[in-house]
Amino acid sequence: MEPMIKAEVVREKSFDPHFMVKVSYDDGINKFTNEIVEVERKPPRVKFYYPDTINRIIDKIDLKKIEIEILKAIVESLLSSASRY
């Protein structure tokens, strides 16, 4: 089963380069809903800070796909806020 992943930037708590992202994940075996992942976007790399609920199952989930969805949500948020000006 392909994992279902949803990531959404919490706009009122996110300011570049620090973002709070609400993440949900379900692969049929492991599941979490609306967990807040903190992301620090500072060169040369992006750092992800996961809550304990995710850290407990981090070796059982597809972390790379989650991080891609998180980064996609951040880019979309940055682009939408840039288009307002």
Q: How confident is the model at residue 54 (pLDDT cuts 50, 70, 90)?
A: very high
- Domain range enclosing 70: 4-83
Give the mean model confidence (pLDDT) for residues 42-68.
95
User: Which pairs from 47-54 meet CB under 8 Å and 24+ separation?
Assistant: 54/23
Whether the per-residue pLDDT at 84 is higher than 70: the answer is no
Specify the pLDDT at position 1.
72
Q: What is the average pLDDT score of the chain?
A: 93
Domain count, the chain: 1
